[in-house]
Amino acid sequence: MLGILMVVSEAIPYSKTGGLGDVGGALPTALAHLGHHVTVVTPRYRGIEEGKPVAAFGRGSWLGAPDFRVLERVHGDGVRFWFVDCPAYYDREELYEGPQGDHPDNYMRGMRPAIVHAHDWQAGLVPAYLKERFRGHPAFSEAGTVFTIHNLAYQGIFGREVLPALDLPWDVFTGEGLEFWNNVSFLKAGINFSEIVTTVSRRYAQEIQTPEQGFGFEGILQRRAGALVGIRNGVDTTTWNPENDPLLPARFSAADLAGKAEVKRALLARVGLDAPGQWARPVIGMVSRMVDQKGLDLIAGAVATGALQALDASFVILGTGTPQYEGMWRKLAAKHPSRVSVTVGFNEELAHLIEGGADMFLMPSRFEPCGLNQMYSLRYGTVPVVRATGGLDDTVTDVDEATGDGTGFKFRAHTTDAMLEALHRALSWYARPAAWRRIQLAGMAQDNSWEASAREYVEVYARARERASRA
Ligand code: ADP
Ligand code: GLC
């Protein structure tokens, strides 16, 4: 049994802008189920209810931060949340706007965690503080640190002049520390000051050591290759399970798929694509940030030539992103109102309806550290069409043209043509109902639960502690 302190800037059910929030909520629960004591340190954003005050800090007690309190909430499964209640920083419309100012490790005194596990650049300074400021502090004398990269594209880069304000000595401003092209990078701090670095799929752990996917960090990561581990995210089956999903109008399972047809009808009615005759057409769903990372450029290419519209399919799209891509979908929906629908916004319920009711789920990502939606799709009998990158490559098996074995359709080249070719293949298999059902069932049978991944984290924690004790 380990005491684990998890530092993460999003955690369901309290906050989420993407997959990080899913992981921040589900991984602590999976670790608690294995018998570990987990405390999650996370901001109290606007709308999160008050908890029990366990500490209060006056202005300036930490790096000149405004007044803040720590509020505690303990869940039924034993996971403890410590919310950093600092209205000046977190009582805002959006999670990440304004200056970065979260240094949550100050509140850890009074417990002796075996493991401190920090996530993404927002928590990247935590390992640096542990090494530089709290080395030898009794609370952390036994702690090993683990840092998880969910997305290398966000590097937390600030001008070197912020260093004194962070209360870190100039000796950390080196290539082995947190200096990155003469700037400060919080992400680099997380990578260099922790015992073990993990990322969210095996494939992505390899990819980020190459110039194509390394975003300038490939050298830094190659240097840490011996301490770099890929552990795929899991599906939180309490929220994502077609057998008891309260956000679906009907339930279904591998043993009985009838409910899925009902969900499809409800989805089409909900988004206004239910004119007579539309029902038989395959529905391609997307729930995604509309940005280049998610392959929206490939879709734009297919829209420009008319190839996307020429597919005999309907499209149900949900997401927010750049005005260019939101506008592209809006225009397409206006032109093809009977078979293209776009909802711009963040909508949990519609996301479940799309996962449940669509026939296929499209993820043409340029890169994808893990990706959660393709795993939800597999579970909901919604066949994923994905680019073979990162976690998409690890979790989807391409359908074999000869045997029909496989769980989805993959393409390798980051081109519009490769994506269209995969979509054409998917549509031709869809036209053969018995073969299609086999593909759906193969996906639904796949086990992507959190349990196995949580066990891998526990092994990584043991290695981190061992390294920390030798240092
Ligand atoms: P990323 O974190 O890169 O955005 P993931 O696939 O890991 O990608 O996770 C995205 C998560 O956010 C999923 O749970 C997905 O359902 C959810 N999501 C993304 N966009 C929306 C949206 N517009 N409405 C509701 N949920 C969304
Ligand atoms: C990031 C990645 C996504 C991953 C998620 C959770 O947002 O883009 O692929 O699933 O983090 O790890």
Contact 70, 54 (CB under 8 A): yes
pLDDT, tens digit (0-9, with 9 covering 90-100), for 376-389: 999 999 999 999 99
Could you tell me if the CB of 347 is within 6 A of ligand 1? yes
Could you tell me if the CB of 318 is within 6 A of ligand 1? yes
Terminal alpha carbon distance of the chain: 23
- Measure the CA angle with vertex 88, ends 186 and 53; round to 5°: 95
Q: Which atom of ligand 1 is nearest to the CA of 319?
A: 23
Environment class of residue 161 by beta-carbon count within 10 Å: exposed (0-12), middle (13-18) or buried (19+)? exposed
Q: How far is the CA of 368 from the centre of ligand 2 (A)?
A: 7
Q: How far is the CA of 402 from the centre of ligand 1 (A)?
A: 34
235-253 in b/e form (b: 16+ CB < 10 A) is bbeebbbbeebeebbbbbe
Q: How far is the CA of 367 from the centre of ligand 2 (A)?
A: 10
Please provide the average confidence, as pLDDT, over all residues in the chain. Answer: 93
| pLDDT for residue 92 | 78
Q: Which atom of ligand 1 is nearest to the CA of 23?
A: 7
Nearest CA owner, ligand 2 atom 1? 150
| pLDDT for residue 100 | 44
Please enumerate in sequence order all residues whose Cβ is within 8 A of that of 25, keeping only pairs 6 or more positions apart, or say none. Answer: 11, 12, 13, 14, 16, 236
Nearest CA owner, ligand 2 atom 3? 371
Residue 75 has pLDDT above 90, yes or no: yes
Mean pLDDT of 265-290: 94
- Give the residue from 119, 121, 168, 128 showing the smallest Cα distance to 146: 119
Q: How far is the CA of 288 from the centre of ligand 1 (A)?
A: 6
Which ranges constitute the DSSP H helices of 311-396?
Answer: 323-335, 348-357, 373-379, 390-395
Environment class of residue 186 by beta-carbon count within 10 Å: exposed (0-12), middle (13-18) or buried (19+)? buried
Residues having CB closer than 6 A to ligand 2 are 18-20, 23, 150-151, 200, 233, 368-372, 391
- Long-range CB contacts (< 8 A, 24+ apart) of 304-311? 305/416, 307/416, 307/420, 308/332, 308/420, 309/335, 309/336, 309/340, 311/284, 311/420, 311/423, 311/424, 311/427
Mean pLDDT of 262-277: 94
Mean pLDDT of 279-285: 93
pLDDT band at 96 (very low <50, low <70, confident <90, very high): low
The span from the CA of 346 to the CA of 352, in Å, is: 12
pLDDT band at 320 (very low <50, low <70, confident <90, very high): very high
| pLDDT for residue 99 | 40
Could you tell me if the CB of 18 is within 6 A of ligand 1? yes
Q: Which of 271-280, 285-294, 384-393 is least confident?
A: 271-280
Mean pLDDT of 58-84: 86
| pLDDT for residue 459 | 97
User: Pocket of ligand 1, candidates 287, 329, 350, 353: which has the most ligand atoms within 8 Å of its Cβ, to mutate?
Assistant: 287
Q: How far is the CA of 19 from the centre of ligand 2 (A)?
A: 5
Residue 102 has pLDDT above 70, yes or no: no
| pLDDT for residue 64 | 67
Q: How far is the CA of 180 from the centre of ligand 1 (A)?
A: 30
Could you tell me if the CB of 25 is within 6 A of ligand 1? no
pLDDT, tens digit (0-9, with 9 covering 90-100), for 42-67: 999 999 999 999 888 877 666 667 78
Could you tell me if the CB of 317 is within 6 A of ligand 1? no
Could you tell me if the CB of 355 is within 6 A of ligand 1? no
Q: How far is the CA of 79 from the centre of ligand 1 (A)?
A: 24
- Closest ligand to C-alpha of residue 374 is 1
- Closest ligand to C-alpha of residue 393 is 2
| pLDDT for residue 97 | 44
| pLDDT for residue 417 | 98
Mean pLDDT of 324-337: 98
Nearest CA owner, ligand 1 atom 17? 18
The span from the CA of 352 to the CA of 382, in Å, is: 12
pTM value > 0.75: yes
Q: How far is the CA of 350 from the centre of ligand 1 (A)?
A: 12
Q: How far is the CA of 118 from the centre of ligand 2 (A)?
A: 15
Q: Which atom of ligand 1 is nearest to the CA of 343?
A: 23
- Closest ligand to C-alpha of residue 390 is 2
Could you tell me if the CB of 346 is within 6 A of ligand 1? yes
| pLDDT for residue 107 | 35
The CA-based diameter of the chain, rounded to the nearest angstrom, is 71
Q: How far is the CA of 135 from the centre of ligand 1 (A)?
A: 38
Q: Which residue reads 């928590």 in tokens?
A: 123
pLDDT, tens digit (0-9, with 9 covering 90-100), for 185-240: 999 999 999 999 999 999 999 999 999 999 999 999 999 999 999 999 999 999 99
Mean pLDDT of 241-248: 98
pLDDT band at 106 (very low <50, low <70, confident <90, very high): very low
| pLDDT for residue 113 | 80
Q: How far is the CA of 370 from the centre of ligand 2 (A)?
A: 5
Q: Count CB-CB contacts under 10 A for residue 386.
A: 29
Nearest CA owner, ligand 1 atom 12? 18
Q: Which atom of ligand 1 is nearest to the CA of 320?
A: 23
| pLDDT for residue 142 | 82
The percentage of the chain sitting over the pLDDT mark of 90, rounded to a whole number, equals 84
Please enumerate in sequence order all residues whose Cβ is within 8 A of that of 108, keeping only pairs 6 or more positions apart, or say none. Answer: 5, 41, 116, 139, 140
Q: Which atom of ligand 2 is nearest to the CA of 372?
A: 10
User: Pocket of ligand 2, candidates 200, 213, 215, 287: which has the most ligand atoms within 8 Å of its Cβ, to mutate?
Assistant: 200
